[in-house]
Amino acid sequence: MGAKRRFPELSESGLIWVIVAFVSLIVLNLITLAMGRSQVLAVLNAHPAGALISPFVFDSWGTIGGLGGIVLLFAPVLFGTPVSQRRALSFFFIAASIGIGEFAVVLWDAFYDTTGLFGSGSSAIAITGQGVIFALSIFGLLRLAGQDTRRLGPLSSHWWYSFAIIYSTLILTSLWFVLSLEPIFIPTLLYNWRVHEFGFLFGAAATVGYMCSRWRALGLDGVIRIDEMLMNFHFDDLCVRFPRRLPKYHVLFRGVEDARGAEFHPERGEIWVSGEFKDREYRIDGPEFERALLHAMVHAELFLEGRPWEHGRPESRQPFNEIAPKVGTPPEP
């Protein structure tokens, strides 16, 4: 519960489960290393189902690094995804990386293995993950091309360019990795080079299928929708209109009294925007949403100046003024 409150993004985005899954893989690798990998492989080779478990057996420190690195590369892609889609994407990422990595290993064992022995190593899982991230980054650029949020304001523009740089970097480093650093498309004497090829290509292909199946929800139709990411970026855009900078209040959807409004909640450091605006088209509902958000921000500014109820309905002043001195920044002298 403590972690949930302190790191809501980590929990709600499902990133915590990606971390759990890949750390578990690393732990399994280390356990088999401690047990002696040749002994473990000998046991696995005695069973027909051993091929399914062999990808969890240690093969090299490079693979361990790859498993950790893949989580770091996935995180920025995840946070560029619309908020409502993040959790599902995290679970797709785990399922695709491990499932297709396993599939690549089993496929190789069935048709390409000339040694008659199962190989080891989670590298197929890591490279499948890389294939998924590579494809996700291409779709990320497509989304940015369709959803040009640069005109919303300076901070939205900043984030648009930041994600364009992040996606381009991920695409280029993935290509550099599979074409040059660990050239997976060039046959080698390494017993299982083709496993990596399968993993990368199938991982990317599965991602294409996933993205196409959720085209609209993932914002790939080019429509800008009001979600929590847009609201929080736009909060920063609107901040430049105030004479002094407001602290960073977390903007989120909640049920509020006015169905087309927003409320300032100093006791939580939050601004609540009516759930009515959720996933509405910015082109249509944007002006009204912006008015509601600005209204809540005006309340925040008045609150910070120590004049919490310079405007508003008298009957609602009482509870607000009671909490006002207890929380937030005290009025300046």
Question: Rule CB under 5 A: which residues touch Zn ion?
Answer: 312
- How big is the chain, counted in residues? 333
E-strand ranges in the chain read: 250-254, 262-265, 270-274
Distance of closest approach, residue 293 Cβ to Zn ion, in angstroms:
12
- Judged by phi (left if over 0) then psi (alpha if -120 to 50, else beta), residue 190 lies in beta
Residue nearest to Zn ion (CB): 312
Closest to Zn ion by CB, 148 or 258: 258
Is the Cβ of residue 153 or residue 261 nearer to Zn ion in the bound state? Answer: 261
Minimum distance of Zn ion from residue 28's CB (angstroms)? 56
Nearer to Zn ion, 155 or 324 (CB): 324
Shortest Å distance, C-beta 287 to Zn ion: 18
Q: Which is nearer to Zn ion, 257 or 332 (CB)?
A: 257
H or E element at residue 198 = helix 193-213
CA proximity to 150, closest of 171, 164, 169:
164
Q: Which residues on neighbouring strands pair with residue 250, listed in sequence order?
A: 270
Q: Is 306 or 312 the residue whose CB approaches Zn ion more closely?
A: 312
Decide whether 64 or 251 has the Cβ nearer to Zn ion: 251
Q: How far is the CB of 202 from Zn ion (least distance, A)?
A: 55
Supply the DSSP string of 91-150, one letter for each residue: HHHHHHHHHHHHHHHHHHHHHT-SSSS----SHHHHHHHHHHHHHHHHHHHHHHHHS-GG
Nearer to Zn ion, 59 or 276 (CB): 276
Phi, psi of 59 (to 5 degrees): -125, -40
Shortest distance, CB of residue 264 to Zn ion, whole angstroms?
Answer: 9
Give the chain's radius of gyration (CA, Å): 25
Q: Taking the complex as a whole, how short is the minimal distance between the CB of residue 296 and Zn ion, in angstroms?
A: 8
Q: Cβ neighbours of residue 16 under 8 Å, at least 6 residues apart?
A: 3, 7, 10
Please report, in angstroms and rounded to a whole number, the separation of the first and last CA atoms in the chain: 38
Separation between Cα atoms, residue 253 and residue 275, nearest integer Å: 5
Q: Which of residues 38 and 316 has its CB atom nearest to Zn ion in the complex?
A: 316
CB of 302 to Zn ion, least distance (A): 9
Q: How far is the CB of 280 from Zn ion (least distance, A)?
A: 22
Own/partner long-range contacts of 141-144 (Cβ < 8 Å, ≥24 apart): 141/167, 141/168, 141/171, 142/220, 143/80, 143/218, 143/219, 143/220
